[in-house]
Structure 1
Amino acid sequence: MIKNPILPGFHPDPSILRVGDDYYIATSTFEWFPGVEIHHSRDLKHWELIARPLSRRSQIDMAGNPDSGGVWAPDISYHQGRYYLVYTDVKHHSGIFRDTHNYLVTAPSITGPWSEPVYLNSTGFDPSLFFEDDGRVYLLNMTNDCRPWNNRFSGISLQEFSLQEMKLIGSPQIIFTGTELGFTEGPHVYRLNGYYYLMTAEGGTSYNHAVTMARSESLRGPYTVDPLNPMLSSRDNPELELQRAGHADIVQTRNGDWYMVHLCGRPLPGTRNCILGRETAIQKVYWDESGWLRLTEGERSPVTETEEAGLPAWMPDKTEPDRDDFDSPVLGSRYQTLRVPFEKGIMSLSERPGYLRLRGQESLSSLFRQSLLAVRIRSFRCRMETRIEFSPHTFRQMAGLICYYDTMRYHYLYITHSEYAGRILAIQSCEGGLYRFPLREAEGFEDFVQLSGDASAGLRAEIDGETLRFFYSYGSAGDWQRIGPDLDSKVLSDEFMQRNSFTGAFSGLCCQDLSGERLYADFDYFEYRDVKQD
C-alpha cells in the first residue's frame, strides 16, 4: 500500500504530471525561496525533491510580500518536448483586494534551465494550462471580484494562449461559477471519453475543503456538476486522520490506472491545529459506469493507505541525511530562505570551512531581508539541533535556533547580549502578534542563562505533539540541560489565529543585527530528525 501523506510537512496544492515512466508533483512554496518544489517518482510511493524552478530573483522577487503570499498553486505540464509551469505571485491577499500576478516559465528538462517568466494576467490565482487536441492552448484561473456585494470567487476563467507569441490572445470567458460549496478555485481540465472534465477546489482550504467535478461536451461549457458532489472531502467526518482534503489533480499510469493527488492536513490529536501545514496525499480513483470520477477506497473520504500502482519498484537516487555538518561548499536542497535569496556575503560555507556563517540582517518581523535558513517540520515528534559560535556586543544582535511559522508565530532560542550580564541565552515567542519572553514570565526560571566566555553553545528544540521544549549545552561536559517552560507547538499552525494562513512549520538557523553592523554567527552543524512513536 501507499501510505499517506506521500509528501509530509508543508507541501500544498499538488499538480501531478507523467512523462513516460516518470511522475512529477509541483507544490506551492508561498513566501519561501526558491519558489515551487518539484518531486519525482517512478512508483507513486517514493518521492525525491529534484527541482525548485524559481531559483532566481528575476523569476520571483517576493521582497515585501505578506505572510502566506508569494507562490500559490503552481501547475506543471508537458507539451512537445518542453515543460511548462504556471504560478501566481501574490502580493496582497487581505481585505477586499487581492494583488495576484500570474506567470509562465518553461524548460527543456524538468531540472531546467527554467526560463525567465512570461507575464499572463492578474485577474485571480491558481492558473493551469490545457493543451487541446487541435494544438490550441488555454489558460484557466479562478477570478477575483473586489466588490463586497458580489461573490469574491467569481468563477473559472478560460482564455486562449498563443505558444508562438507567448501571450494571451482573445478575451477571457467565465466557464464555471461553482457550486453551493463556494470558494471555487484550483481549476484543471481533462479531455476524456467525449467530455471535457473540469476539476475545481471548493469550500475554502480549511475544514470544509472539497474536490468538485463537472463536465461538458464543449470546453466553454455549460458544465454539469457531478450529482454526488463533492467527490472528495473530509468535511463530514471529523474523525478522519486526513482532514482539509481538497485541491486535487489526476494522472493516468502507463498501465491505465488512475490516481489523484490532493492536499490534506493532519491535526494534532484532540485539536484542530495542523502544525505540519497542508500536505500532499494520493488516492487511487476510477471512472464509474456513468463516467464520473470515484475513489477506489473510502467513498468520498480520503484514506491513509491506498493501493500501489503496480509499477516497477523504485527508490530515490539520494536522500539528504538528518545531520548536515556544512562540509560541502554547496547548501543542501532541503533548505529554504524567506522571500529572497541571500545576498552575497550574507551566507557563506567557505569563509570558515566546515561552518555555516550567517550575517545578521533585519528582525523576525521583516518582510524584506531576513537571515533565516530553515527546513520543513515533517512529524508531530521531532528534534532539531545545532551548535553555534556568536559574540554579540549589544541586545540588538541575536542568533540561534528557531521554530517558525511566519512573522507572527514562532518560538526562538537565541544568544544575545545584556548590559548587565554580557553574553546570555534567552527565549522569545511570538504568539499571533503577542510577544512573550518565557524565561522572564514563568515562575521558577531565571530571566536568562549567562554564557561566560566565548565558547560555543549547543541549542536543541524538541516537539512532542502540542509541546515544544528547548535545551542547551555549554562548557566542556556538553550535557544537555532544559531551558524554559513547556511552549505551545500549536502556535506553529494555520489555525492558531484568525488570519489567511496557508503554510506550515519550519525549523532552522537565523541571525539578526538590528544595529546594521551585520555581525555574523557560525553554525557547526544542523540536525533535523523525526522521532518515531514508541
Structure 2
Amino acid sequence: MTGGHPVAPVLPGFHPDPSVCRVGDDYYLACSSFEYFPGIPLFHSRDLRHWTRIGNVLDRPEQLRLPVGSPSSGGLYAPTLRHHDGRFWLIVTNVSDAGNFLVTATDPAGPWSDPVPLPGVPGIDPDLAWDDDGTCWCTVAGVSQVRIDPYTGKTLGEPRRIWSGTPGAKAPEAPHLYRVGDHWYLLIAEGGTERGHGVSIARGPAPDGPFEPCPANPVLTHRSTDDPVQNTGHADLVQAPDGTWWLVFLGVRARGGSPGWHVLGRETFLAPVTWEDGWPVVGPLVSGAERSTAGYRDDFTRPGLAPEWISPRSRPAAHVTTQEPPGRLTLRAAGASLDAPDAVFVGRRQEDLTCRVRTRIDAAQGRGGLAVRLDERHHYEIEADAEEVRVVARIGPARTVLAARPAHGRPLVLGVGIAETRTLSDPRTGPDTVTFGVEEADGTFTALAALDGRYLSTEVAGGFTGRVIGLYATAGTVRFDWFAYEPV
C-alpha cells in the first residue's frame, strides 16, 4: 500500500513479463504479447513511473508468424530487452512457430530487424548478457545456459544446466543475468505464475557460475498475504542514473470474493531495491502515475491504426483499413463469429477496473459490434446487423443471446460499461459487472444486459492474457466512425 491507497501498476492492463533497459537518462520496457499482432509492445520513460507507448517491436507480418490454428495464450513469451554496443537487442520465444529468435534496432522506435532464428537455443524465456570479453550468454527457463553468436544465431557449445532455484519450487523461469560489482547475479521467477509466484536470486564469480542462492529467497513474493497485488514475479533489475536500483515485475489485481478473479491480465509494477551484504532487498511497491480521467478517443484519421490496437494472430490489410473511406475503420469479415480463430477483431487492452466504452457503428452491410474478449471461448459482445442489436455471451461451451432489440437499418452508438465490485454481498461475488447497451438519440444509455465479469477472468478461462475491448465484423462489411474509452 502507498499513502493508504491501493498501489497502481506503472503499466495497467495486460502487460506481463516486463523487461527493462536504460540508455543514458532513458528507460525502455517491453512486454509479452502472446497471440496478438503486432507483437511486443514497447514503452519509454524518464522516471520508471510514467511510460509512453512508442510502438511495437514486431509490427510487420514477415517478423511474426502466428498461424490461424495456434491457440490463445500461445505466440510470444517473455522477451528480454537489452542495449549493447550501440544497439538494442530483443530476444523472445514464439511457442506457436519456430521457437527462440532475436531482433535488433539502432532506434527503439524502429524499424526492428527481421528475426535471427536461434535453433540451438532450447526452452522459453531467453535472456541475453555480455561479459567483458564480448561473449554473449543466453540463459533460458529451467535454468540452462549456452553461449551464442547473436549476429548469426549460432550456438557455441551445448546448453548447460546452471541453477534451478529453490528445491521443490515449480517452474524456475524468466532468468536474467547481470554483472553487479564483483559478482554475476542470476534472477529468476519460480512457484508458477499464479498465487505462488515469486522472485529468487543467486550469485557467482562468472556468468556460468557456480551460483549460490540468496539466503533470504524469495526476495519478492506476495504469496499467503492479503496484499491487493498478488502473483508477483517475473522481474527485471535496472540501475538509475543516480545509482539507485529498481525492480519491474508483473502482478495482478484480483477482485471479488473467493478465490478472487483478475480480469485485466498480469500488469507491470515497480519497487525500489537496496543492497545489503551483497544481496538485493526489494522495498514497498511504488504506485504508477495517476491515471487521466479523460481516457482517449480514436476517430480513425491516421493512415493506419495506432500502435495500441491489436488483433489475434494477424491483421490482413484486405480486412482492416482506415482508408475506405478515410476517417472510418472498415472491417471485412472472415470468421463467422468471435469463436473462430480467424475472426476479424481489433481491440485495445482494458486498463482500468471501472471504465466505459462507446463506438458508432454502421452495420447495414454486415454484422459486427463491440466486444470484451479474453479468448475464443470467453467473450461478451453487443452486435448489430441491419435488423437487430443483440447481446451475446460465450462462456466455455455455451453461447447465449441474452437480449435483443430492433436496429432499423441505421447507424447506432453501442456501449459497454464495466464496474468494479466494491461491496461483497457473499463470498462468491464476482470481480465486476459488464453492462452492454445502446446510446439513444438524446444521449441517454439504455442497458440491454448486465453480466458477471468473473467468466472473463484468468481464474475461469485459464491462460496468460487479459481482457481486450474492441471492434469486430463477422459478416459482410462493417464500419465504425469512432471509438472512445473513458476510465470512470
Any residues of structure 2 matched to 1:267-306 within 5 Å, and which? 267-271=254-258, 272-288=260-276, 290-297=277-284, 303=285, 305=287
Contact 1:245-1:262 within 8 A present in 2 as well: yes
Partner Cα distance (2:434, 2:205) in 1: 54
Q: 1:181/1:103 Cα in 2 relative to 1: closer, same or farther (>3 Å)?
A: same
1:347 to 320, 335, 338: 320
Contact 1:100-1:123 within 8 A present in 2 as well: no
Contact 1:242-1:304 within 8 A present in 2 as well: no
Give the root-mean-square deviation of aligned CA atoms: 2.2
Any residues of structure 2 matched to 1:204-353 within 5 Å, and which? 204-237=192-225, 239-271=226-258, 272-288=260-276, 290-297=277-284, 303=285, 305=287, 322-341=296-315, 343-353=316-326
Partner Cα distance (1:407, 1:66) in 2: 9
Partner Cα distance (1:377, 1:141) in 2: 31
Partner Cα distance (1:457, 1:365) in 2: 24
1:133 corresponds in structure 2 to 132
Any residues of structure 2 matched to 1:471-482 within 5 Å, and which? 471-473=437-439, 476-477=441-442, 479-482=444-447
Contact 1:461-1:468 within 8 A present in 2 as well: yes
1:116 corresponds in structure 2 to 114
Contact 1:48-1:319 within 8 A present in 2 as well: no
1:523 to 480, 483, 486: 480
Partner Cα distance (1:102, 1:165) in 2: 13
Contact 1:12-1:28 within 8 A present in 2 as well: yes
Q: 1:330/1:169 Cα in 2 relative to 1: closer, same or farther (>3 Å)?
A: same
1:425 to 381, 389, 392: 389
- Report how far residue 319 of structure 1 moved: 12
One-letter amino acid of the counterpart of residue 345, structure 1 = A
One-letter amino acid of the counterpart of residue 19, structure 2 = S
Contact 1:4-1:282 within 8 A present in 2 as well: no
Partner Cα distance (2:118, 2:150) in 1: 12
Q: Is 1:4 matched with 2:8? A: yes
Contact 1:105-1:114 within 8 A present in 2 as well: yes
Partner Cα distance (1:197, 1:348) in 2: 47
2:147 corresponds in structure 1 to 160
- Report how far residue 337 of structure 1 moved: 1.1
- Report how far residue 265 of structure 1 moved: 0.2
Q: TM (normalized to structure 1)?
A: 0.84
Structure 1 gaps of 5+ residues are 92-98, 143-154, 298-302, 309-314, 418-422, 440-447, 514-518
- Report how far residue 304 of structure 1 moved: 5.1
Partner Cα distance (1:135, 1:218) in 2: 14
1:68 corresponds in structure 2 to 73
Partner Cα distance (2:59, 2:278) in 1: 41
Partner Cα distance (1:198, 1:190) in 2: 7
Instruction: Classify the secondary structure of the residue corresponding to 2:165.
Output: coil
Q: Is 1:409 matched with 2:407? A: no
Partner Cα distance (1:471, 1:156) in 2: 50
Contact 1:414-1:426 within 8 A present in 2 as well: yes
- Report how far residue 164 of structure 1 moved: 5.2
2:369 to 388, 400, 419: 400
Instruction: Classify the secondary structure of the residue corresponding to 1:391.
Output: coil
Q: Is 1:15 matched with 2:14? A: no
Number of positions where the alignment pairs a residue of Structure 1 with one of Structure 2: 468
Instruction: Classify the secondary structure of the residue corresponding to 2:323.
Output: coil
One-letter amino acid of the counterpart of residue 80, structure 1 = D
One-letter amino acid of the counterpart of residue 405, structure 1 = L
One-letter amino acid of the counterpart of residue 134, structure 1 = D
- Report how far residue 234 of structure 1 moved: 0.7
What do the CA deviations read for 1:75-99 (whole angstroms, capped 9, x no partner)?
Answer: 01111111110011112xxxxxxx7
1:456 corresponds in structure 2 to 411
Structure 2 gaps of 5+ residues are 421-431
Instruction: Classify the secondary structure of the residue corresponding to 2:415.
Output: strand
- Report how far residue 241 of structure 1 moved: 1.4
2:165 to 174, 178, 186: 178
Contact 1:261-1:281 within 8 A present in 2 as well: yes
Partner Cα distance (1:165, 1:262) in 2: 31
One-letter amino acid of the counterpart of residue 42, structure 1 = R
What do the CA deviations read for 1:104-130 (whole angstroms, capped 9, x no partner)?
Answer: 111111112211111113621101101
What do the CA deviations read for 1:188-224 (whole angstroms, capped 9, x no partner)?
Answer: 0111232211100000001100001111123222321
Of structures 1 and 2, the larger Rg is shown by 1
Q: TM (normalized to structure 2)?
A: 0.91
- Report how far residue 330 of structure 1 moved: 3.0
Instruction: Classify the secondary structure of the residue corresponding to 1:280.
Output: strand
Contact 2:137-2:207 within 8 A present in 1 as well: no
2:36 to 21, 32, 36: 32
Instruction: Classify the secondary structure of the residue corresponding to 2:63.
Output: coil
